[in-house]
Every structure is written in C-alpha cells, then in structure tokens.
Amino acid sequence: MAAPTTTTSPSTSTSPPLTALVFGASGITGHALLKTLLHHPAPTTFSRIIGLTNRPLSSSIAQLPASERLELYSGINLLEREASLRQLQLIPGIEGVTHVYYAAYGGHGSGFAELRRVNEEMLTNAVGGVEVCCPALRFVTLNTWGKVW
C-alpha cells in the first residue's frame, strides 16, 4: 500500500486530505503513534488523527500535545462487535479515514489461549468496523510486537 503523501496544507491540497485512525491509543504503542503522526512524515501529512481507546482518556491525562488535528474517542470496546461498530459510526467524518494503525491489546494476565482468543476477536471486530465505516481506506498496519494471532 502507498505511504502517506506530504502536502503543503490540508486545505490547499489537490488530493483528498489524509486521516489517521489509531486503535489502542491509551497503550504505549498507540500513544507513541498519536504523537508521531502529528509531525511524521511531515507536520501537514494528516489533517486529522483520531485515537480510539476502550478506557476513558483525555488529551491532558495522556499528556498529548495540543493540536486541533488530534481527537480522542473512548469507550470503543472491540470485544463487542455491534457496539464497537456503532461507536465507530458515531465519529464525525469517519468515512474520510485513509490510514489505520492497529495497536490495541487485550487479555493481560491471561494464558496464551485466552490472549489469542481475545486479541483475534478484537482485531476481527476492528477490521470489520473499518471495512464498513472507512471507504477511503488506503493503508492498514498491525503492530503485534512479535505476537501472532
């Protein structure tokens, strides 16, 4: 899939604006992705960066930089297929998402079989929701830290 393109300004670009969606924004990897996407590959690459979490999280608690381009949405429980789809559909402009970064992880403290079940279900529900809600999708990345589900 194509890498993000750099534009001089989201409002003057001739191509559609790029929007990033980060699943697992409250975790170590998701938090780092939110901060990185604000300036990489260029400060104007993404016109919007949407972070999704299951747990409540505000920008101030997350110690994220202040940016009009950064939005956080909490309460997205990827273990509940229909509920998570409805929550995605409520995000204004979700249909404009072009890039998805999946860094969600669940089942902490469980045995391998339960970890696998939980994380397969979460990934399946996230991808299913994105397929329904994000027709402009151009890029998806899955960060698993070497785990295979």
In this prediction, residues 87-97 reach a mean pLDDT of 98
Query: Looking at residue 11, what is its pLDDT?
Result: 47
User: What are the helix and strand counts (H, E) for the chain?
Assistant: 4, 5
Averaged pLDDT score across all residues of the chain: 87
pLDDT-based confidence at 61, cuts 50/70/90? confident
| Closest alpha carbon to 36 in 141, 123, 128 | 141
Q: Report domain extents, the chain.
A: 18-142
pLDDT tens, position by position, 137-148: 999 999 876 655
> Please, what CATH class does the domain formed by 18-142 belong to?
alpha beta
As a whole number of angstroms, the distance between CA 86 and CA 1 comes to: 27
Measured from the Cβ of residue 77, the count of other Cβ atoms closer than 10 Å reads: 15
Angle, vertex CA 136, rays to CA 95 and CA 127, nearest 5? 75
Q: Which of 147, 128, 138 is nearest to 23 (CA)?
A: 128
pLDDT score at 146: 61
What pLDDT score was predicted for residue 9? 45
What percent of the chain stands above pLDDT 90? Answer: 67
Kindly report, residue by residue over 103-124, the tens digit of the pLDDT. Answer: 999 987 778 899 889 999 999 9
Q: Does 41 sit behind a cis peptide bond, omega within 30 degrees of 0 on the bond before it?
A: yes
Give burial (CB, 10 Å; 0-12/13-18/19+) of 138: middle
Question: DSSP 3-state assignment of 140?
Answer: strand
